[in-house]
Amino acid sequence: MSTPSLRERDARVIAEIGRLRFSPLSLVGGRGNRLIEEGGREVLDLSGSAGPAALGYGHPAMVEAVERAVRDMAGASLLLYPNEPAVSLAERLLAVTPGSGERRVWFGHSGSDANDCTVRVLAAVTGRSRFISFIGSYHGNLSGSMGISGHTAMTHTLPRPGVLLLPYPDPFRPKFSAEDVLALLDYQFETTCPPDQVAAVFIEPLMSDGGLIVPPHGFLKALQDRCRRHGIKIVVDEVKVGLARSGRMHCFEHEGLEPDLVVFGKGLGGGLPLSAVVGPAEIMDHAPAFALQTTAGNPVATAAGGAVLKTIEREGLVERSARIGKLFSDGLRALAEKHEIIGDVRGRGLAVGVDLVADRGTRDPVPATTTAKIIYRGYQLGAAFTYVGLKANVLEFMPPLTLTDDEAAEGVAIVDRAIEDVLAGKVADADVASFMMW
Ligand SMILES: *Cc1c(COP(=O)(O)O)cnc(C)c1O
């Protein structure tokens, strides 16, 4: 009998529900900006593991910080005792996040628990129970964060009662313009959604899982102004696109937002489970509303967070993300000249999406199988990436912020070849059937 592969062993023991894998890639290691699959082949990682791998894999700063924190471990629970890495990280996060007055930081394990906690504390502090968010938005997969999400992958769960889901204006498929959405909000405020019942609006400054949609300039600011007028708090979910990913430290800076609360996750932990909420003390110091999670803010995860923030500064990763992101997306944009299937290349910094269309005139999305085949072929050719979008037609690129010029060029060449090969029929439906998701 032959030894079972990692993939076969995985299929026997790991729950299948909610696994987003679009290729047979199974990992035994990672080095730099490359993932190492069983058998030892190295694959260029253009996915960043969906965002967390901000510094790639095995970055010396991460190794050093995590090793030190675990070797001389300052307890395992911030609930019981303050620990040095958590307090230092909170100080650092406050220093890099704009805001005034007394502010506090809450730590969790994931973007989901951070948004959950934010919903709960805002309802408790404001005494208001309604929230506004967007169709297509993804804020997490725990009950509170699912309840304010508007992704089609969430339709198995009912939204939180009182949530108002607005369309997110999409410049590429402008079903609703920014003006339409604001007019709808005004009408809701006048009629069935009295603004004094609304605690907060949850904003993705760049809609990620909903299709990597960059909002029309000025829309979010206008939304913020309308909400502020009614005492509605502005929550910006920077989980996926924050901390240098967008070519600015915070993605909300591109639109000049002034959030009351900012939610961090994914890249903050550099791959370790870590999330944070930054907000005013009068909101955050509300102990009864907060989920007490024993290991949240533990010294190992927060030491990793400290290493991420220090490395962003030391290696100039904000500027690098802007520069390499432009190089990479310009490369992809050039591919649009030969591949009709590329309808749009968009994003900010190293958060890049390629919108695949069946027809450039109508901009109808390609079927999900086409997207999956390109991802599958990309894997065969040596690069890992995934997809997003309510119609699963947008290739998502969230590579490590440490991606080099050469790797960006290598990535573009692989995407080029993968598209060419798929259009030439080199991947069969059966090849991707078992990897399809939403
Ligand atoms: C991924 C994501 C979350 C949830 O984070 P998890 O770590 O998966 O719980 C929340 N908000 C946004 C914008 C995300 O992309």
C-beta of 237 in contact with ligand 1 (< 6 A):
yes
pTM as predicted? 0.97
Q: pLDDT category, 288, cuts 50, 70, 90?
A: confident
- pLDDT, residue 7, reads 87
C-beta of 240 in contact with ligand 1 (< 6 A):
yes
C-beta of 208 in contact with ligand 1 (< 6 A):
yes
Q: pLDDT category, 438, cuts 50, 70, 90?
A: low
- pLDDT, residue 186, reads 98
Alpha-carbon span 313 to 172, nearest angstrom: 34
**Residue extents of the structural domains in the chain:** 6-58+316-435, 63-314
- pLDDT, residue 1, reads 64
Cα(153) to centroid(ligand 1), Å? 13
Task: Kindly name the residue from 57, 81, 138, 187 that is annotated as catalytic.
Answer: 138
387 is catalytic: no
C-beta of 140 in contact with ligand 1 (< 6 A):
yes
For the chain, give the percent of residues with pLDDT over 90: 90
- pLDDT, residue 17, reads 64
Cα(398) to centroid(ligand 1), Å? 13
Q: Looking at ligand 1, which atom is closest to the CA of residue 113?
A: 9
Q: Which CATH class is domain 6-58+316-435?
A: alpha beta
- H, E, C per residue of the chain: CCCCCHHHHHHHHCCCCCCCCCCCCCEEEEEECEEEECCCCEEEECCHHHCCCCCCECCHHHHHHHHHHHHCCCCCCCCCCCCHHHHHHHHHHHHHCCCCCCEEEEEECCHHHHHHHHHHHHHHHHCCCEEEEECCCCCCCCHHHHCCCCCHHHCCCCCCCCEEEECCCCCCCCCCCHHHHHHHHHHHHHCCCCHHHEEEEEECCCECCCCCECCCCCHHHHHHHHHHHCCCEEEEECCCCCCCCCCCCCHHHHHCCCCCEEEECHHHHECECCEEEEEEHHHHCCHHHCCCCCCCCCHHHHHHHHHHHHHHHHCCHHHHHHHHHHHHHHHHHHHCCCCCCEEEEEEECCEEEEEEECCCCCCCECCHHHHHHHHHHHHHHCEECEEECCCCCEEEECCCCCCCHHHHHHHHHHHHHHHHHHHCCCCCHHHHHCCCCC
Checking if the pLDDT of 436 tops 80, the result is no
Mean pLDDT across the chain, nearest whole number?
Answer: 95
Q: Which CATH architecture has domain 63-314?
A: 3-Layer(aba) Sandwich (3.40)
Token reading at 182: 């604001």
- pLDDT, residue 437, reads 66
Q: Which of the two residues, 290 and 396, has the higher pLDDT score? A: 396
Checking if the pLDDT of 16 tops 90, the result is no
pLDDT tens-place string over residues 311-323 = 999 999 999 999 9
Cα(402) to centroid(ligand 1), Å? 21
Q: Looking at ligand 1, which atom is closest to the CA of residue 52?
A: 7
Question: Quick check: 147 and 141 in contact, CB under 8 A?
Answer: no
Q: pLDDT category, 414, cuts 50, 70, 90?
A: very high
Q: pLDDT category, 137, cuts 50, 70, 90?
A: very high
- pLDDT, residue 291, reads 73
- pLDDT, residue 131, reads 98
**Residue to substitute in 119, 239, 243 for testing ligand 1 pocket (most ligand atoms within 8 angstroms of CB):** 239
